[in-house]
Amino acid sequence: MAALVPVTKFSRDKPTKDAHAFMLGLEANFDDTLSDKRKAIILEALLTTNLLAATWFKGVPNATEATWDDLKKAFKLKWPKKPAQGISVTEAVNTLKNQRLASTCLGTYETMHNQDVPAHTIWGRAIVADAKKWNMPGIIANDIRAALPEALKGMLSTVITEWDNLLTELEKVLVPALKEKVQEKNLHEQRMADIERRLGKSRISESQSESYATIPYTQRFTPSPRPMPNLVMEDPPATAALLGGIQLQWWHEHRPGPYHHHT
């Protein structure tokens, strides 16, 4: 029993000051495996530090045999809920909305009281406890749902207007199923990213083709510089190969030789 620590302890001298927060914190620590009798025993153990509360519990008929809902109602009748003070509605709403569930927590567990509890369930219990503590209207629960990571949000009802419904639906989401949704979403995002990259490359290629088509045909090819032939007459065969048959014939007709006379 010592392992269970409520979010807010039940005050020894002023129980009416934090009775509501005490009950919210206590229920946030409960899980679905606890029976009503076990919950009653836990409550009794936590009230022993407060004489007034302990005496009240002993006065409840068949307290350990009652349903948890009936026992909780009796507790609330003894210590009614106090109006929330010290925080405005706007501040409370902003605080709730800022307590976002990180995508990295999806499909993971956290250890609580030597038990593995889904991280999204622990987060949901804390959110709902704060919302009830500040008397937040149930319609805000739908805003909290809307801000959830897509993989988890898709596993809940499309409209949630009660805090208890939000928590109930979160607790029903099983980790294996949530892991599968996360993997599907990651795979889908990866495929979409691949498609975007391919489309980007295709657009670049099309743009280059369009630019190339607007260039005049004679300008599309850059001529490579070629060395000019060395037309040196000392090498008749090479010159003939370059100039062709006509030049070769001309050379034979005008070549100076030893039998040529000047008159």
pLDDT of residue 172: 95
Neighbours of 14 (CB within 10 A): 10
Cα 84–Cα 88–Cα 91 angle in degrees, nearest 5:
120
DSSP, residue by residue, 243-263: H-HHHHHHHHHH---TT----
**Assigned token pair, 259:** 């039998």
Instruction: Find the DSSP H helices in the chain.
Output: 15-29, 36-46, 51-59, 68-78, 89-98, 119-133, 140-146, 150-153, 163-172, 175-213, 236-243, 245-254
**Assigned token pair, 20:** 């509501």
Quote the pTM value. Answer: 0.49
Evaluate the CA torsion angle 125, 98, 161, 20 in order and state its sign: positive
pLDDT of residue 188: 86
Tens place of pLDDT for every residue, the chain, 263 residues? 444 455 556 665 555 557 777 888 888 888 778 899 999 988 888 887 777 787 888 888 887 788 998 898 888 888 776 655 667 888 888 889 888 898 888 999 988 777 889 999 999 998 999 898 888 999 999 999 999 999 999 999 999 999 999 999 999 999 999 999 999 988 988 899 888 888 887 777 666 666 656 666 556 555 555 555 554 455 555 555 555 555 556 556 656 555 445 44
Domain boundaries, the chain: 19-78, 89-177
CB 138 within 8 A of CB 161: yes
Tell me the pLDDT tens digit for each residue of 237-253: 555 555 555 555 655 66
pLDDT of residue 88: 82
pLDDT of residue 175: 95
Between CA 162 and CA 142 the distance in angstroms is 8
